[in-house]
Chain A
């Protein structure tokens, strides 16, 4: 009897963590998606992104200086927009995550 009332008043630890884990994942996914989409979309408009020079230089360097600044910036913008859309809409998460980790590696 006592054990039954105790189980009703004190929810089990794993159940709380599971709920929090789910909402944390959702928030993380949406916030990452928002940041990636916003800053990626900015790069499609000349002079709007504060990181356009840094971004294009990085991509040019990673391509072994085979890409021009314009193409490098557009490629980066498209990549970030795709990551953002994938995270926000929860689609193709496996591929989006690969792109995401590749992008994160590039930022270092």
Chain B
């Protein structure tokens, strides 16, 4: 056999193997064994058969009696995932195979699929000394890439809005800071494009933000917090948003029962060491007990005393007020606990607890309906109570969570001297631009469709259908967040993809196709700063 013939035979062999693997993949994916969902539709006859069985459950029994044979209907696999009828999978990729600690793509919105299991294990994929070494090596490169990615998406100039400060005095940053594509000259130019044009040309500047290390995920604290609480410094990942675009630390705390006092903490962070001194004589014994519990650390999935942790030294855990510092927010982020696989969980910023007494619905996705329930189920175990077996439960009894709710219920909004009792601007205290912004808020900009009442919130969950503007997995309905005191809680949207109020206005101008002018957007920001 000469060389040429041998190569032709070899080539045919390669094609045969390739075809065999491809055919195997077609049979395998979407089956019970695969984590890749099927994209094939059920055949009409198969669907009809299943429908008939559902509508005529006695049919099989009659047949069985007549023939004395038992026929088991081919039941559809409960694990089979069929293609959705609305959103398309076009352009989406299957999640990569990863283990805890491994780097994950920053553009996780482009991926979909199912996990190997819903259940996590408290066992690390390596020995703890290897785990530390692994992260010591991985972290510098990871954080370099994270910052490069964030700088590619945003222009963090740290330019403040003149004369505008958060309630405790931190300057408020000017925007928009999201970068536009090179061939788009301004936000106004982009707003003239249709959603499909923006999607096709990949121009949308407000795509979701993923956790920089989503395989491990869990809480990431800002630098300002870590300076005071080095015990929460992670060995694997750091905060990715510059300090200037985060809430102030420590933030003021206002009590609805003592408005005359203003910030009851006098600029201090409330801790287990000083809370009694600050609050004795100001709050009820029930509220005091609730506050103590809000300050008491408890073990979490990755901050605990076991080897399954992201701190070099064993950790006492994390308290409610570590993220919700002084009843507000430290700017820490986590992942929503409500989805699996881990890579499908949405990044969520810590929301403020100020004014929770006015909310009928808490949490971004889970629609939690009461503050005691909120205190009970906060995502200490990432939606996985099974981890308690290894790490230890929070062990908070119902009456105690009620008391945590009692304290939560007196956390007030910051003062708003420019608003009257009906939340309208007082003309003599407000500027012309702010008043124009108010008119826009209730009119052309359509903000008040969802943001109204004393907290500027409708307590509904809305699907903004942002995936119309980019190739991505739909994020689904997410709770409307209140706008009262909004200037104190950057960055905005559930995952912090909108670093400034200007970005928030540009985002809604695009997705609601409002066609606001540059001046109108500026007026709207000026109004939002009054709330």
A-side residues, CB < 8 A to B, are 30, 33-34, 37-38, 41-42, 45-48, 52-53, 56-57, 60, 64-66, 68-70, 73, 84-85, 88-91
- Are B94 and A47 touching (Cβ within 8 A)? yes
A45 with B97: CB separation less than 8 A:
no
Do the beta carbons of A66 and B141 come within 8 Å of each other? yes
The answer, among A41, A52, A65, A90, for a CB contact under 8 Å with B17, is A41
10 more contacts with CB within 8 A, not counting A52-B97, A53-B98, A65-B137, are: A30-B10, A33-B10, A41-B18, A46-B35, A64-B137, A65-B138, A68-B103, A69-B103, A70-B93, A89-B7
Specify which of B17, B21, B141 is in contact with A64 (CB 8 Å cutoff). B141
**How far, in angstroms, from A42 to B6 measured CA to CA in the complex?**
24
Q: How far is the CA of A60 from the CA of B305 in the complex (A)?
A: 29
B residues in contact with A46, CB < 8 Å: 29, 35-36, 94-97, 113
Assembled-state Cα–Cα distance A79/B36 (Å): 24
Asked if A47 meets B14 with Cβ closer than 8 Å, knowing A60-B102, A65-B137, the reply is no
Contact B17 A47 (CB under 8 A): no
Q: Which of B109-136 contact A (CB under 8 A)?
A: 113, 134
Return the CB mask of B85-109 against A: 1 if under 8 Å, else 0: 0000000011111110011110000
Task: List 5 A-B pairs, minimum CB-CB distance, nearest first.
Answer: A65-B138, A70-B96, A46-B94, A69-B96, A88-B10
Q: B45 an interface residue at 8 Å Cβ cutoff?
A: no
Our pick among A47, A53, A89 for the contact of B10 (Cβ within 8 Å) is A89
A66 to B103, CA, bound (A): 9
Which residues on B sit within 8 Å (CB–CB) of A60?
102-103
> In the complex, A88 Cα to B36 Cα: how many Å?
31
Give the interface centre of A47, A66, A85 by most chain B CB atoms within 10 Å: A47
Do B6 and A90 touch across chains, with their CB atoms under 8 A apart?
Answer: yes
In the assembled complex, the CB of B210 is this many whole angstroms from the nearest CB of chain A, namely 12
In whole angstroms, how far apart are the Cα atoms of A48 and B36 in the complex?
10
Please indicate the chain A residues that have their CB under 8 angstroms from the CB of B17 in the complex: 34, 37-38, 41
Min distance, Cβ B259 to any Cβ of chain A, angstroms:
51
Residues of A contacting B97 in the complex (Cβ-Cβ under 8 angstroms): 46-47, 52-53, 56, 69, 73
Q: A21 → chain B, closest Cβ, in Å?
A: 18
B18 touches A45 (CB 8 A): no
Contact between chains at B21 and A42 (CB < 8 Å): yes
- Chain B residues near A45 (CB-CB < 8 A): 21-22, 25, 29
Give how many A-B residue pairs fall within 8 Å (CB-CB): 85
- Contact bitstring B14-31, A, C-beta under 8 A = 1, else 0: 100110011011001100
Give Cα A57–Cα B25 distance, bound, in whole angstroms.
Answer: 23
Contact among B21, B98, B99 for A38, CB-based, below 8 A? B21
- What are 5 residue pairs bridging A and B, where the CB atoms are less than 8 Å apart in the complex? A47-B97, A56-B96, A65-B137, A69-B96, A73-B96
Q: What's the Cα separation between A71 and B369 when bound, in Å?
A: 43
The answer, yes or no, to whether B142 is at the interface (CB within 8 Å) is yes
- In this complex, the member of A53, A65, A85 whose beta carbon has the largest number of chain B beta carbons within 10 angstroms is A65
User: In angstroms, how far is the closest chain A Cβ from the Cβ of B469?
Assistant: 24
Q: Is the CB of A48 within 8 A of B24?
A: yes
| CB closest residue in chain A, given B21 | A41
B224 near A: Cβ within 8 Å? Answer: no
A83 → chain B closest CB, angstroms: 12
Inter-chain contacts of A48 with B (CB < 8 A): 21, 24-25, 28
CB within 8 Å for A69 and B104 given contacts A37-B17, A48-B24, A64-B141: yes
A104 to chain B, nearest CB (A): 21
Asked if B3 lies at the interface with its beta carbon under 8 angstroms from chain A, I say yes
List chain A residues, Cβ under 8 A from B24.
48
Interchain CB contact under 8 A, B141 and A47: no
- Minimum CB–CB distance for B121 against chain A, Å: 14
Q: Are B34 and A47 in contact (CB under 8 A)?
A: yes
Kindly provide the distance from the CB of B29 to the nearest chain A CB, expressed in whole angstroms. Answer: 7
Nearest CB of A to B21, in Å: 5
Q: Kindly state whether residue B13 has any CB partner on chain A within 8 Å.
A: yes
- Does B11 have its Cβ within 8 Å of any Cβ on chain A? yes
A38 to B14 Cα, complex, angstroms: 9
Which of A37, A66, A73 sits near B14, CB closer than 8 Å? Answer: A37
Taken residue by residue from 297 to 334, chain B's Cβ proximity to chain A (1 for < 8 Å, 0 otherwise) reads as 00000000000000000000000000000000000000
The CA-CA distance from A49 to B4 in the complex, in Å, is: 32
**Chain B residues with CB under 8 A of A47:** 28-29, 34-36, 94, 97
Query: Digit string of B450-494 for contact with A (CB within 8 Å is 1, else 0)?
Result: 000000000000000000000000000000000000000000000
B contact residues around A85 at 8 Å (CB): 14
Q: Which residue of A lies closest to B34 (CB)?
A: A47
- The answer to whether A88 touches B21 (Cβ under 8 A) is no
Q: Separation in Å of the A92 CB from the closest CB of chain B?
A: 13
Could you tell me if A69 and B102 are in contact, using CB atoms closer than 8 angstroms? yes
The residues of B that contact A34 with a CB separation of less than 8 Å are 13, 17
- Write out the residue numbers on chain A whose beta carbons fall within 8 Å of the beta carbon of B10: 30, 33, 88-90
CA distance A57 to B101 in the complex (A): 11
Which of A30, A42, A57 is the one whose CB lies under 8 Å from B99? A57
Chain B residues with CB below 8 A from A88, complex form: 10, 13-14
Residues of B within 8 Å of A66, CB to CB, are 141
- B17, B36, B95, B105, most chain A CB atoms within 10 A: B17
Residue from B11, B97, B98, B99 with most neighbouring chain A CB atoms (10 Å): B97
CB distance from B342 to the nearest CB of A (A): 13
